[in-house]
A = this chain, B = another copy of it.
Amino acid sequence: MAKSRYRSFKAVPPAAKQDGDGKRISNLILLAIPQQEGKQLFPSLEFMRLRLHQVLHEAGETIKSVYFLNNGLGSVLTVMPDGKSVEVGLIGKEGFVGLPIVFGFKTSPLRVVIQCDATAYRVDVPTLRKILPECPQLEKQLQRFAMILGMQSTQLAACNRLHDVEERLARWLLMSHERIGGDTMPLTQEFLGQMLGTRRSSVSMAASILHKAGMITYTRGNVTIMDKAKLAEAACDCYQIIQEQKSNWQNETR
């Protein structure tokens, strides 16, 4: 299972916004940069498939690569010495993995795990460092996303402190659902417990309540959202707040 953690595929650098193998670029940052910067960056990108629960970056290690998620979803986790963890950020196709690199840092104290089978374009750090000075728009996009993710994490921080498991679970499911594009998500209660910073059995009870209310169904390792509107009511305000922040900030410039 942990054998070929980085199962990379034929590296066919996309010449423009879409590469030759039909691996259409969906990552919003890659789509947003001007063509001339794309010419700098794209040849160095390697298309990859990322598997469920694959660890893109382990807390404390040196960051070797930066990943532009194309689809799928990554979770950013704070891991405590005793092994407990809490999710502090979600990264989808609107962002990238490897924030500290942009600011000249080499490591990160956070773990990033893939929540569902995903694809990404990878670039190794030295290459990116070489390219970055010549790509001001790219750099700006990366910085902006870092800031947005930071803001998101502050809201999650408050949420994790102030709201109970049921509300947080509902919020979490909604937030992930949005970035995956599919009502069924591969999730175990154990995994959700790590995200929410709580026991698996607490997740079990909360999920049971949401199920009985007709909002979700789930089988072994899979959760399906049945009634998104109802689920949104069960979630805490944080869901709405993060939504609004995201859209505000995406429009907001100097």
Within 8 A of B (CB), among A131-171: 140, 143-144, 146-147, 149-151, 153-158, 160-162
Q: How many residues of A contact B (CB 8 A)?
A: 47
Given A78-B157, A150-B153, are A254 and B104 neighbors across the interface (CB < 8 Å)? yes
Within 8 A of B (CB), among A105-119: 105-110
User: Which of B88, B106, B161, B237 interacts with A154 by CB under 8 Å?
Assistant: B88
- Complexed CA–CA distance, A140 and B161 (Å): 32
A150 to chain B minimum Cβ distance, whole angstroms, is 4
A112 to chain B minimum Cβ distance, whole angstroms, is 12
Q: Quick check: is A13 within 8 A (CB to CB) of the other chain?
A: no
Residues of B close to A158: CB separation below 8 A: 78, 80, 84-86, 88, 160, 197
B76 engages A154 (CB within 8 Å):
yes
Q: List 9 A-B contacts (CB under 8 A).
A: A89-B154, A103-B143, A104-B254, A105-B252, A107-B252, A146-B146, A146-B147, A156-B157, A158-B197
Q: Could you tell me which A residues sit within 8 Å of B by CB distance?
A: 76, 78, 80-81, 84-86, 88-89, 99-100, 102-110, 129, 140, 143-144, 146-147, 149-151, 153-158, 160-162, 197, 237, 241, 245, 248-249, 252-254
Known: A85-B158, A149-B150, A158-B160. 19 other contacts (CB 8 A): A78-B157, A80-B237, A81-B241, A84-B162, A86-B158, A86-B162, A88-B154, A104-B253, A105-B249, A105-B252, A105-B254, A107-B252, A109-B151, A146-B150, A150-B153, A153-B153, A153-B157, A156-B157, A161-B197
